[in-house]
């Protein structure tokens, strides 16, 4: 039996059949028929954002914290172009999104019609795939394919552009089962020979390290569980990228902390000095590797990734394994156990002794102050006071983001939402909204910088409208802090345009939106203030006035190897020895 219906209704039907519970969107002329259908049903909840960029980041937060795809609905022209940053962000961080855009009627395409933009053209480079649907008969099927492609293989954003006449026209609905399966069926199982080679490497490694990334989280909770088994059974140390935090617990015995440009000394030195590196779902990003030529020079490297193009893209690896992290780890564990669960325990013990030495650097130590809230202190307190909660953290981009990654501990995957690949200021507030929608009873905190917060602060309206108790913890240094840090260290202290001038009164701003506003500037008051924020049943803007000129360390300047780090302000500005000088 075929069911005839309008394209607009078909969209809603297809979303329901895909199990969609919530969409983030903003209406306009080219999507009015769809909004009409949304009005006439109750299965799918629509969250009205205040700017389409907010819709996409909210959907990212939803997706990242649930493992389900995020769904966005926006109008043609400016609606679509406003969504571009979010889609690029999702592409870089492999977040599954299905973005539906309205388009001018098919017969007007190409005429520079009102609110026409070449949406598929503009978004081709920032989606995993996109479609312009010109025939209502193809609409439902295309939406089902869109979900398939967004969520399988390396996840990512997809876009379906739907002209208004296609929404009005009637055709037979195609259900998900009847939809033609796309030939896109990424391979999940790793090559057994290569897995065996990796097992042999694990058995003999003297100075091994696991280097894990967002791919572990994208692969699902089972991947994290298997990773934990593998790490516990081998006793090897583990470090993670920014995107991978939480896959292995921060309280775990093997945890070395984050690596990379602002990673911990022990993590970076272990990467530099290891003899076997096992990359699981990370991509040798330039914020991680530093100078490629000096990246972990003495190690044999294995790399597990679901994306063929990530293998051997930047760093040549001896054992590239194409496959899904869960599947590969499962096979790996089976083979390794069948061969007797061997490791070179004596050598690994020595390696750990070396690592313990490096840990003594206590690279995250900072000079506390009785008068001024140090940003590190603020995060230590936030960690201490929220660790027992069912807690989700989002961030904006800048120093506060790196400090959050360094000082907050994540025990489970999907608890840490941050813009890694694109580094999008303005991500955190809308992302926190998406997370809170998915987890209504959880404690959701956006660790923000004052400058980033301003980029999408209109979304406070969304938080208030839907009574989302998101906590905006602004580490207000009145600076574009990360830019200021680079200018101080590398551009002669010429602070070009890195001041946050004419800031709003954040307490009044909160109140203007109908939220609670708080300010804290005294370290002695901080604990009580944080508790007040947590206990408030509603959205809060917490204006935490922190030290303005604190720098984020450790830091590996771009182009330096892992064993060259700036550890503190004291190391900057001194005489440079020949060997320590910049190697350009």
Ligand X SMILES: Cc1ncc(C[n+]2csc(CCOP(=O)(O)OP(=O)(O)O)c2C)c(N)n1
Q: Which is nearer to other proteins, 114 or 184 (CB)?
A: 184
Q: What is the number of alpha carbons within 13 Å of residue 127 lying toward its C-beta? A: 27
Residue of 475, 482, 518, 533 marked catalytic: 482
Quick one: DSSP state of residue 514?
T
Q: Which residue is nearest to ligand X (CB)?
A: 449
**CA pair distance 87, 103, nearest whole angstrom:** 18
Q: Is 465 a catalytic residue?
A: no
21, 68, 108, 115: the active-site residue? 115
DSSP code at position 292: G
Binding range to other proteins, per CB under 8 A, among 214-222, 498-506, 512-520, 570-578 = 570-578
Q: Which of residues 285-314 bind other proteins (CB under 8 A)?
A: 286, 290-293, 307-309, 311-313
Nearer to Mg ion, 80 or 397 (CB): 397
Query: Per-residue contact track with ligand X, 479 to 518, x per CB under 6 A?
Result: xxxxx-----------------------------------
Min. distance of Cβ 430 from Mg ion in angstroms? Answer: 18
Return the beta strands (E) in 78-156 as ranges: 97-103, 129-132
Does residue 94 sit in helix, strand or coil? coil
Active site residue 115: yes
Q: Which span sits near ligand X by CB under 6 A: 35-43, 240-248, 397-405, 512-520?
A: 397-405
Nearer to ligand X, 254 or 477 (CB): 477
Q: Is 1 in the site for other proteins (CB under 8 A)?
A: no
367 binds other proteins (CB under 8 A): no
- Give yes or no for residue 481 binding Mg ion (CB under 5 A): yes
Q: How far apart are CA 267 and CA 259, in angstroms?
A: 5
Cβ atoms within 10 A of the Cβ of 525, count? 13
Shortest CB 257 distance to other proteins, Å = 16
Cα–Cα distances in angstroms (integers) from residue 387 to residues 326, 471, 534, in the given order = 28, 15, 12
Q: Active site includes 114?
A: yes
User: 3-class secondary structure for 63-87?
Assistant: HHHHCCCEEEEECCCHHHHHCHHHH
Nearest to 507 by CA among 472, 470, 553: 472
Residue 121's closest CA among 107, 147, 103?
Answer: 103
Residue 559 binds other proteins (CB under 8 A) = yes
**Which residue is listed with tokens 């602070």?**
495
Q: Is 502 left (phi over 0), alpha (psi -120 to 50) or beta?
A: left
Q: Which stretch binds other proteins (CB under 8 A): 93-101, 230-238, 439-447, 487-495?
A: 487-495
DSSP secondary structure, 170-236, as one string: EEE---TTTSPPPS-----SPPHHHHHHHHHHHHH-SSEEEEE-HHHHHT-HHHHHHHHHHHHHH--
Query: Which residue of 395, 399, 456, 472 would you call a contact of ligand X, by CB under 6 A?
Result: 399
**For Mg ion, which stretch binds (CB under 5 A), given 234-242, 402-410, 447-455, 519-527?**
447-455
Beta carbons within 8 Å of 406's beta carbon, 6+ residues apart: 257, 258, 262, 264, 364, 376, 379
If you search the block for the tokens 């030939």, which residue do you land on? Answer: 183
Choose among 558, 566, 583: nearest CA to 286. Answer: 558
Find the farthest-apart pair of alpha carbons in the chain and give their distance in angstroms, rounded.
81
Instruction: Round to whole Å and give the CA distance between 575 and 528.
Output: 44
Task: Please choose which of Mg ion, ligand X, other proteins, none residue 569 contacts, taking the beta carbon within 5 to 8 angstroms, the exact cut-off set by kind.
Answer: none
Q: Closer to other proteins at the Cβ: 352 or 466?
A: 352
Pick the closer one to other proteins by CB: 42 or 577. Answer: 577
The footprint of other proteins on residues 139-158 (CB under 8 A) is 149
Residue 424 near which of ligand X, other proteins, Mg ion, none (CB within 5-8 Å, type-dependent): ligand X
How many residues belong to the site for ligand X (CB under 6 A)? 20
CA distance 144 to 541: 39
Q: Which of residues 365, 490, 512, 531 is near other proteins by CB under 8 A?
A: 490
Does 424 engage in binding with ligand X (CB under 6 A)? yes
Q: Is 92 near ligand X (CB under 6 A)? A: no
Which lies closer to other proteins via its Cβ, residue 488 or residue 550?
488
- Which residues carry out catalysis? 52, 114-115, 164, 482
Binding site for other proteins (CB under 8 A): 120-121, 124-125, 128-129, 132, 149, 182-184, 265, 269, 286, 290-293, 307-309, 311-313, 316, 358, 486, 488-493, 556-560, 563-567, 571-577, 579-582, 584
Binding site for Mg ion (CB under 5 A): 449-451, 477, 479, 481
């Amino acid at each position: 039996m075929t069911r005839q219906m309008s394209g607009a209704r078909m969209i809603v039907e297809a979303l329901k059949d895909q199990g969609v519970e919530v969409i983030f969107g903003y209406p306009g002329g080219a999507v009015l028929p769809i909004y009409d259908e949304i009005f006439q049903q109750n299965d799918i909840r629509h969250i009205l954002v205040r700017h389409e960029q907010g819709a996409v980041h909210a959907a990212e937060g939803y997706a990242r914290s649930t493992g389900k795809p995020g769904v966005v609905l926006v109008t043609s022209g400016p609606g679509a172009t406003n969504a571009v940053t979010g889609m690029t962000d999702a592409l870089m961080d492999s977040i599954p999104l299905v973005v539906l855009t309205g388009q001018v009627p098919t017969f007007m395409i190409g005429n520079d019609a009102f609110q026409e933009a070449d949406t598929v053209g503009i978004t081709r480079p920032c989606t995993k795939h996109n479609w312009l649907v010109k025939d209502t008969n193809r609409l439902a099927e295309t939406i089902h394919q869109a979900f398939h492609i967004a969520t399988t293989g390396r996840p990512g954003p997809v876009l379906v552009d739907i002209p208004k006449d296609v929404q009005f026209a009637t055709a037979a609905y195609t259900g998900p089962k009847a939809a033609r399966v796309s030939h896109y069926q990424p391979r999940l199982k790793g090559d057994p020979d290569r897995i065996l080679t990796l097992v042999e490497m694990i058995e003999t490694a003297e100075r091994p390290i696991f280097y894990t990334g967002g791919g572990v989280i994208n692969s699902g909770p089972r991947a994290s569980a298997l990773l934990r088994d593998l790490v516990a059974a081998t006793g090897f140390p583990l470090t993670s990228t920014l995107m991978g935090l939480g896959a292995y617990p921060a309280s775990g015995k093997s945890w070395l902390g984050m690596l990379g440009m602002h990673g911990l000394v022990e993590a970076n030195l272990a990467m530099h000095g290891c003899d076997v590196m096992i990359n699981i779902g990370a991509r040798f990003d330039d914020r991680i590797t530093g100078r490629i030529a000096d990246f972990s020079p003495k190690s044999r490297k294995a790399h597990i990734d679901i994306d063929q193009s990530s293998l051997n893209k930047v760093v040549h690896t001896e054992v590239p394994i194409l496959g899904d992290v869960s599947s590969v780890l499962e096979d790996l564990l089976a083979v390794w156990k069948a061969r007797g669960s061997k490791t070179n325990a004596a050598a690994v013990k020595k390696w750990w002794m070396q690592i313990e030495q490096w840990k003594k650097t206590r690279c995250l130590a900072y000079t506390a102050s009785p008068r001024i809230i140090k940003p590190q202190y603020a995060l230590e307190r936030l960690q201490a006071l929220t660790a027992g909660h069912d807690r989700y953290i989002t961030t904006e981009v800048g120093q506060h983001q790196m400090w959050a990654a360094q000082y907050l501990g994540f025990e489970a995957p999907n608890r840490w939402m941050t813009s890694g690949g694109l580094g999008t200021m303005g991500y955190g507030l809308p992302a926190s909204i998406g997370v809170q929608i998915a987890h209504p009873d959880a404690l959701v905190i956006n660790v923000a910088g004052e400058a980033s917060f301003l980029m999408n602060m209109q979304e406070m309206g969304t938080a208030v409208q839907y009574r989302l108790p998101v906590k905006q913890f602004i580490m207000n240094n009145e600076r574009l802090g990360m830019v200021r840090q680079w200018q101080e260290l590398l551009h002669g202290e010429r602070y070009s345009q890195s001041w946050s001038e004419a800031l709003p009164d954040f307490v009044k701003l909160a109140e203007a939106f109908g939220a609670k506003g708080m300010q804290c500037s005294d370290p002695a008051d901080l604990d009580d203030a944080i508790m007040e924020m947590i206990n408030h049943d509603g959205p809060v803007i917490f204006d935490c006035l922190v030290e303005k000129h604190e720098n984020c360390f450790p830091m590996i300047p771009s182009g330096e190897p892992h064993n060259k780090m700036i550890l503190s302000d004291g190391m900057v500005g001194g005489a440079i020895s020949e060997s320590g000088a910049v190697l350009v």
